[in-house]
Amino acid sequence: MHLSFFENLRYSDELAGTRAGACLVSERFEGRVPPHVAVLRARRPFHAFVAYARYLYADALRPQTGVAAPGIAPTAVIHETARLEDEVTVEPLAVIGPDVEIGSGTVIGAGAVIAAGVKIGRDCDIGAGSHLQHALIGNNVLMHPGCHIGQDGFGFIFAGQHTKVPQTGRVIIQNDVELGAGTTIDRGSLRDTVIGEGTKIDNQVQIGHNVTIGRHCVIAAKCGLAGSLTLGDNVALGAMVGINNHVVIGDGAQVAAMSGVKDSIPAGERWGGMFARPTRTWFREMLAVRRLAESGGAETGARPDEDRDEGRA
């Protein structure tokens, strides 16, 4: 029997045609469920669906490589000074350098490189092909494949021949952080780069040196965070947001997808656009531009989307 859920009128047609055996639904929409479907009443149907899914598919809550059985693979390379607690799994071709410390229950994926002096807490997953250096990692941190943590940030004096600024800081990732595949986090130069507890970061995100990210933030795919900026707690960034260096984003602020942020954002505000400004201002500006374009089209007798270049065929 299949289980589904319904909580948005936009999907009424899908509900009418569902072949699921049971549907989680609020009391408000209970009458819309087809008679052949068992009704499971829930105040928040999607939340209830997720709770069921977490119970039924507990293994899906952590990355599963399936490359090797638990334990140390024969082809793993582990320096003699590294210290691994009991029940650490090191998959084939992983390399663990000198003075590394890894807590119990942690899995080091195939081909990962853990450079000298890195500290990794308990119950972490370090994805296949990831590379960690100059880093301190808390407990229950999940890194999907191909993450690169602790490499030099982009620091130069730009004058004629560009002079490299020494990058001497670390990356500190606190407990319960999740990093999507291909994410890169640069080590600090003047201060450590810090990722706060409970923050969730999507695939292919770039975080520059000296960045401080607060607790329980959400950063969607392909965001680019320039150096030395600060995100407060519970900040949410939509996909492909770019943020300038030294900017401060206040607690609870939200930034719409594909926005460019050059100015600091006060706590709790919602901004968007290029360059980002408060969403109400952004929407008013877009509406005004659309009305201007439409009025101009009416005066000339052309539609706004027509090509008015007479030189084109």
Q: Which domains does the chain possess? A: 3-61 (no CATH), 83-272 (2.160.10.10)
| Single pTM value for the model | 0.88
The pLDDT assigned to 172 comes to 98
The pLDDT assigned to 187 comes to 98
pLDDT tens, residue by residue, 257-304: 999 999 999 999 999 999 999 999 999 998 999 999 988 755 555 554
If we measure between CA atoms, which residue out of 144, 199, 211, 200 comes closest to residue 171? 211
The pLDDT assigned to 313 comes to 38
Catalytic residue list contains 209:
yes
pLDDT tens, residue by residue, 138-154: 999 999 999 999 999 99
The pLDDT assigned to 296 comes to 76
pLDDT band with cut points at 50, 70 and 90 for residue 308: very low
3-class DSSP state for residue 265? strand
The pLDDT assigned to 234 comes to 98
CB 233 within 8 A of CB 214: yes
Where do the DSSP E strands lie in 230-303? Answer: 230-231, 236-237, 242-243, 248-249, 254-255, 260-261, 270-272, 277-278
The pLDDT assigned to 193 comes to 98
pLDDT tens, residue by residue, 228-269: 999 999 999 999 999 999 999 999 999 999 999 999 999 999
CA 47 to chain centre: 20
Among residues 134, 144, 209, 246, which one is catalytic? 209
- Say how far apart CA 156 and CA 163 lie, in whole Å: 5
The pLDDT assigned to 103 comes to 98
DSSP code of 291? Answer: H
If we measure between CA atoms, which residue out of 241, 18, 131, 245 comes closest to residue 253? 241
CA distances 109 to 131, 264, 290, Å, are 10, 38, 51
| Residue whose tokens read 């109400």 | 280
CA distances 234 to 92, 106, 145, 200, 253, Å, are 37, 27, 25, 10, 7
The pLDDT assigned to 1 comes to 74
The pLDDT assigned to 59 comes to 87
DSSP code of 141? Answer: -
More confident residue, 290 or 193: 193
